[in-house]
Chains A and B, each alone.
Chain A
Amino acid sequence: MAVVRADVDIAAGCRAVSVTEHLMRPGSGSVQFNPDLPISASQEIMALVDENAGGIGAHVVITRVRVDPALIGDAAVLAGAAYTGRITARPSRTSLEFEGIGSWLDTYNDAEITRTTGTPTQWLGDLLTNSLTAGTVSGGSNVTKTFPAHITTRREALDVIAGLGGWEYRIMPDFTVDAAPAASLFREVGDTGTIVVTRKAEGSDGALRGVDGSMLDQEIQVGNLATKAVALAEGQGVSIAKGTATAARSLRAPLGGAAAFVTVFSAPGEETANANTAASNFLNLQGMRRKVNVASSTHHLPRYVVPGDEVYIYDLAAGLYDTTQQVQFRGETIFPATVRLLSYTWPIERGVGVYIRSNEASGSADYIDVTDWVAWENGDTWWTVGDWAPKNYGRVNRTDPEIETRLSTDGQTDFNVTSLHANITSVTVARGSRLGPFEMVQIRFDMSAAPIAGAASLFTVPSEWWPATNTAARGVNINGAGAGVDLFLNTAGVVTLSSGSTAAASQPYSASFMNIV
């Protein structure tokens, strides 16, 4: 399991009264108030935010137009809100900072979460917490996965399951999470209302909507071009499993000839069988990064487009075109490139409603209307569009290697013993980490009142422990028995008692297995 962090750059030009939203990332924002914000209002906000004084917490809710929450009700406000953010800081009496409500899922899983062929709805039920619930869910394939306790946050786990299941999610301002394959969840180019970004301020043309994009330019990063990636998967030292992947790059060495950049990353939890895939997925992220930054003066862009939507973008000078794609727009044929809106930062402009909502049950929440005192921002919306998409990651987990190592979740399958002898009452397995080429497992098994006579099959071990030849010298020892009691392990993985010996009743026994990896 490797650590791969999403490289979604926050758009440039963040200002004091703005909201930044990302595709499948929480985002953040801040709002400033005029000094004449009533003290009663700021005290109410303080009461909610002050943890030590019993504050239950609050959210900033931004609606497209000014509404009266008392009149239309909590549910309706949230359902129609443009944005909801979790208040994380009160830098001063007249300012608030908040994060996207996806941050409610930034909690580590406290217990193991596991599901076999779980549907997206089932996984959402397992992973969502802190008042977030599943909204509209459709499509996607089933996923089998186990997350040991304390290994990953709920949100990171959600990203993994979404990646494996082929779907994406979108957290709505009413604390529900919609999930579906990207093509259904977000707008694809060609759908009604597709945005076309050009340098000129444009209006609509049929199903297309023009948006002005000044300072339209694309940013290319070619400093991290790896030609080969090596994944250090499970194991230690000389026994470490390595996966590799190579990519052909156009880049040349200074005097011609092939360039070589080998990058290595740690994935201690990745099984040996997946090491190459992990390397390949990591290498996909080490290619050229392309990002387009656009500043648009179109008012309140979130009305038309959200992060995750595909947009057309066209500017010859910046190299943003695709001659295989012809679109009729405003009397001309243009050749726009299709890119995905990854994030944008939009100013909180006069005309919207801004409220503080207390963290209480639906219908019981208090709303503080602070719209009249917001220090409105006038300015452009900064977009970031690019080639990145969550599905580009492929199958990698999002955990910390150090946590993985300490929890000893090194991708090994469980050591499940089967076919227990009737007289064995319980089996406890303790696994050690790999030590060089060796892997050790110790088993304690408890006996019932009746002893077991020799040549009896006690239990069967997992197949990767089956020796190639019948041998007692496979490192199987039995403790707690008298002399003459040995264990045999055959090529079918069956552990038997030595003939002529007896395993005494009502005793715990331990056996240790050593595998040469």
Chain B
Amino acid sequence: MTTTIGRVSLTSAPYNQSHSGDRLSFSIDITGYSLTVAKVLRQQLLGLADNADEPVIPLTWSDESDLDGFYRVLGVSVDPTIVHLRDGTMRCQIDLERVGGGYARPAFEVPYAVGTLTNPHGLTGGRHLGIPATTADWSALTGITTRSTSTGNVYWLYTKSGTSGELDPGVLSYFVAPASYYVGACVVEQSVGGTWYPVIGDQVSLQLDLWRISNGIIRLTPQATSPRSYLFERWNGSAWVTISSLERGAYVSLAYADQQAASADPSTASTGAVPYITKNGPDSVAVVIPQKGGASESISIHRGNEYARFYMSEIDLGSSALWMGSASVIAMSDVTYGGYSTASINGYRLGIATPVANDVDTVNGRVKWTAPAAQGAFIVWAQVHLGGVDGGTDTWPLFGPMSTLQQVVAR
């Protein structure tokens, strides 16, 4: 028996239910878990309230589908830890209000804005949005790309015909069942006691062993050991396969230094580099990792995309330049916007692109920012694209500097 409230998944049932018009209140217990896990679940439940990135959440209960639907969270209260120490249980009280416009399937609107980042490569970028492919209303349409994610398929919609120029911002609407809401959703996860739990809201537990972000297609996990890199993985339809360990470093004195440009290890809380989450919604997530001296590195991903965007700002490099590349040797082809691997890696190709002038180390697989600067900002995309050995730019339709900002609201 499973109750899911947003991304929280509990094995207990809601009780003391009270229905009043569109309002629903109930109690539910965090029971049968160790204290460590109970704390994580507690954080997840508390994160449901006042969550600007997820104002509406789905609720499902395997034993009774009457409760299934989308709700606004009016309030959450959870017993303190001492109650778990005494009783082995934390009680939680949740107040919800059903979203209007449909008993279980309100219309979701995704307002989006897409622009082409100024770049010297003449790239115009792609304009795709991802929505769960279980939306029945789309099934009759043809010519829509479907992508497989670890949580189900997503439709990968091209939001404007034509390939050049700016995209007019618009609004996309779709319906989806509560159980399918998080298909292909972006998620920030933290590992506690060896198990991965999604973070809800922006409160990351300080007990985490490790953290990662994922959208079901690509996954980035900071490595706990040196060199300080991100494990870049890709979902191949049935399993996660490793593509590369992505490193960032400073190019100093004509050499690629292995060390990361900043000192903080992003993987562990002990060094104070716990990421802080600036956006955590099913359509996109963004985390920022503080670095030394006021610098920061941010990573963001969007639903349906197979690339992650890194943004390193205020990095003090002195006279060196930033680079990103593979920790292991991967031969790359040099294109104006970066480089892509020439050989197939588990059926995929790794690409690294940047909207600034760059040099490519074609032997080892690194993209370096050409012009160093003492204080600068470096945007780079790391993409894992399905393709064989041959490719060329046709294989990289999205490899352009582009950003979308999607918000999901329910009507």
* A and B part of one assembly: yes
What is A's interface to B at a CB cutoff of 8 Å? Answer: 199-200, 202, 205-206, 316-317, 321, 323-324, 326, 328, 330-335
Nearest Cβ in chain B — how far from A113, in angstroms? Answer: 48
Contact among B111, B114, B168, B299 for A331, CB-based, below 8 A = B299
CA of A199 to CA of B299, assembled, Å: 21
- B300–A321 CB distance below 8 A: no
| Given A326-B117, A331-B279, A335-B169; 9 other pairs, CB 8 A cutoff | A205-B296, A206-B313, A316-B405, A317-B409, A330-B278, A330-B279, A331-B311, A333-B117, A334-B405
- A332–B300 CB distance below 8 A: yes
Contact among A199, A206, A323 for B113, CB-based, below 8 A = A323
List of A residues within 8 angstroms of B166 by Cβ = 323-324
Contact among A317, A328, A334 for B379, CB-based, below 8 A = A328
Q: Mark B114-141, 1 if CB is under 8 A from A, else 0.
A: 1101100000000000000000000000
CA of A206 to CA of B375, assembled, Å: 11
CA of A317 to CA of B114, assembled, Å: 14
Known: A328-B311, A328-B313, A334-B405. A200 touches B117 (CB 8 A): no
Q: Which of A199, A331, A332 has the most CB of B within 10 A?
A: A331
Contact among B114, B115, B405 for A332, CB-based, below 8 A = B405
- A321–B311 CB distance below 8 A: no
Within 274-300 of B, Cβ neighbours of A (below 8 Å) are at 278-279, 284, 286-288, 296, 298-300
List of A residues within 8 angstroms of B377 by Cβ = 328
Nearest Cβ in chain A — how far from B201, in angstroms? Answer: 12
Query: What 8 pairs between A and B have smallest CB-CB spacing?
Result: A331-B298, A333-B403, A331-B286, A323-B115, A316-B111, A330-B278, A331-B278, A335-B113
List of A residues within 8 angstroms of B168 by Cβ = 323
- A326–B115 CB distance below 8 A: yes
Does more than half of chain B's interface fall in helix, strand or loop, or is it mixed? strand
Q: Mark B136-171, 1 if CB is under 8 A from A, else 0.
A: 000000000000000000000000000000111100
The A/B interface has a contact count, at CB < 8 Å, of 68
Sample 9 A-B pairs with CB under 8 A, ordered by A number.
Answer: A205-B296, A316-B169, A316-B407, A321-B169, A323-B114, A331-B279, A331-B286, A331-B299, A335-B115
B112 within 8 Å of A by Cβ? yes
Q: Which of B117, B313, B409 has the most CB of A within 10 A?
A: B313
Closest residue to B302 on the A side, CB-wise?
Answer: A332
List of A residues within 8 angstroms of B114 by Cβ = 323
- A206–B169 CB distance below 8 A: no
Q: Mark B23-56, 1 if CB is under 8 A from A, else 0.
A: 0000000000000000000000000000010000
- B115–A331 CB distance below 8 A: no
CA of A323 to CA of B407, assembled, Å: 16
Known: A316-B407, A321-B169, A323-B169. A331 touches B287 (CB 8 A): yes
Contact among B112, B115, B167, B288 for A330, CB-based, below 8 A = B288
List of A residues within 8 angstroms of B52 by Cβ = 199-200
Contact among A317, A323, A324, A331 for B300, CB-based, below 8 A = A331
B314 within 8 Å of A by Cβ? yes
- A335–B405 CB distance below 8 A: yes
Closest residue to A316 on the B side, CB-wise?
Answer: B111
- B298–A330 CB distance below 8 A: yes
- A332–B286 CB distance below 8 A: yes
CA of A316 to CA of B115, assembled, Å: 13
- A321–B113 CB distance below 8 A: yes
Nearest Cβ in chain A — how far from B112, in angstroms? Answer: 7
Q: Mark B208-245, 1 if CB is under 8 A from A, else 0.
A: 00000000000000000000000000000000000000
Known: A200-B52, A206-B313, A332-B286. A324 touches B115 (CB 8 A): yes
CA of A323 to CA of B167, assembled, Å: 8
Nearest Cβ in chain A — how far from B411, in angstroms? Answer: 11
List of B residues within 8 angstroms of A206 by Cβ = 296, 313-314
- A326–B278 CB distance below 8 A: no
Q: Which of A205, A333, A335 has the most CB of B within 10 A?
A: A333
Closest residue to B409 on the A side, CB-wise?
Answer: A317
